[in-house]
Amino acid sequence: MRIRTAACIAAGLVCGAWPAWAQEQADTRPVLVLTGAAEIHSTFGPWLKLIYTEALGRLGYRLDYRAYPAKRSSLVSDSGESDGEINRIAEYSQLHPELLKVPVPHFAIRFSAYAARPLALGNGWQALKQTDFRVEYRNGVALPGVQLPQVVPPERLTVANSALLGMRKLQVGRSDIYVDVEMVADAVLANEEFRNTPIRKVALMDSADVYAHLHKRHADLAPKLGQVLADMKKEGLIEKYRVQAGIARN
């Protein structure tokens, strides 16, 4: 068996090919596991992966980016099962004290409101305060989770476990407004299921810079990662990666 294995490795060297398992064994850099919401992974994910593969690589780490439902992702990172969150708003660490914000954001995202019927709604969270709309947002998404309870009473505020479920409930009239990250919501509406939907974007609620957050055991790494991100911005890499990932500009 050893002779066969040695022969296979030798053949790989001669042919210039190296098996994937051997490549993984050869890379001895420590792995940093960052989690994130599944909806973010399926939209901004390619951009985030490019950014943090490069940034962590400069610091001697390999990235392992894992997707979970937003609420589950928080539980995993809070417990220390992962090394942190890859994409959260600035205030996230105030709500999750086990995590530390990397001091430099990677980009900004928009939060928008959607409705299945024409309605008058201004921009911003305060526009919802004097209305009687039933409002829903995705469970575990921090900014709507903080802002909406301040302007919508609890009897008219609900959460959906996914953006898809939120849009389905909106379409059949179980809510009046659904709020989510704009690109996440737009990606759901691009599905065949919603080809003839009356759902439309009706207001911009907010825009926010987003940051990686590391578990506090990586307190020494957070400022170093922030400096690398700042360097990458100056080099034009963040924008280059946006184009490479096929992400539309906000």
Q: For residues 177 and 58, state if they share a domain.
A: no
Q: For residues 167 and 135, state if they share a domain.
A: yes
Q: For residues 90 and 173, state if they share a domain.
A: no
Which residues touch 102 (CB under 8 Å, ≥6 apart)? 211, 212, 213, 214, 222, 225, 226, 229
In a domain, 9, yes or no: no
Q: For residues 63 and 184, state if they share a domain.
A: no
In a domain, 192, yes or no: yes
pTM for the predicted model, two decimal places: 0.81
Residue 43's domain spans which residues? Answer: 29-107+209-245
Q: Measure the CA–CA gap between 224 and 112, rounded to whole angstroms.
A: 33
Amino acid at 149: P
In a domain, 15, yes or no: no
In a domain, 144, yes or no: yes
- Coil, helix or strand for 57? helix
Q: For residues 131 and 185, state if they share a domain.
A: yes
Query: Tokens for 227?
Result: 């400096």
Look at 8-12, 29-33, 60-64, 147-151 and tell me which has the smallest mean pLDDT.
8-12
Q: For residues 73 and 194, state if they share a domain.
A: no
Query: Tokens for 77?
Result: 């990172």
Q: For residues 58 and 179, state if they share a domain.
A: no
Region 51-74: mean pLDDT is: 97
Contact 228, 59 (CB under 8 A): yes
In a domain, 3, yes or no: no
In a domain, 222, yes or no: yes
Total domains, the chain = 2
Look at 2-6, 98-102, 167-171, 226-230 and tell me which has the smallest mean pLDDT.
2-6
In a domain, 10, yes or no: no
Q: Where are the beta strands (DSSP E) in the chain?
A: 31-37, 62-68, 84-89, 99-101, 107-115, 135-138, 157-160, 177-181, 200-215
Q: For residues 200 and 213, state if they share a domain.
A: no
Q: For 10-58, how does the pLDDT look when each residue is reduced to its tens digit (9 = 90+)?
A: 444 444 444 555 555 678 999 999 999 998 998 999 999 999 999 999 9
Does the pLDDT value for residue 1 go beyond 70?
no
Which residues touch 220 (CB under 8 Å, ≥6 apart)? none
In a domain, 23, yes or no: no
> Residue 116 belongs to a domain with what CATH number?
3.40.190.10
Q: Measure the CA–CA gap between 9 and 125, rounded to whole angstroms.
A: 61
Q: For residues 40 and 119, state if they share a domain.
A: no
| pLDDT for the residue numbered 250 | 67
Which residues touch 245 (CB under 8 Å, ≥6 apart)? 46, 47, 50
153 falls in which pLDDT band (50, 70, 90)? very high
| pLDDT for the residue numbered 4 | 47
Percent of the chain beyond pLDDT 90? 86
Q: Measure the CA–CA gap between 223 and 220, rounded to whole angstroms.
A: 7
Q: For residues 57 and 76, state if they share a domain.
A: yes
Query: Tokens for 78?
Result: 């809070």
Mean pLDDT of the chain: 91
Contact 125, 57 (CB under 8 A): no
| pLDDT for the residue numbered 26 | 77
Q: For residues 103 and 218, state if they share a domain.
A: yes
Q: For residues 150 and 229, state if they share a domain.
A: no
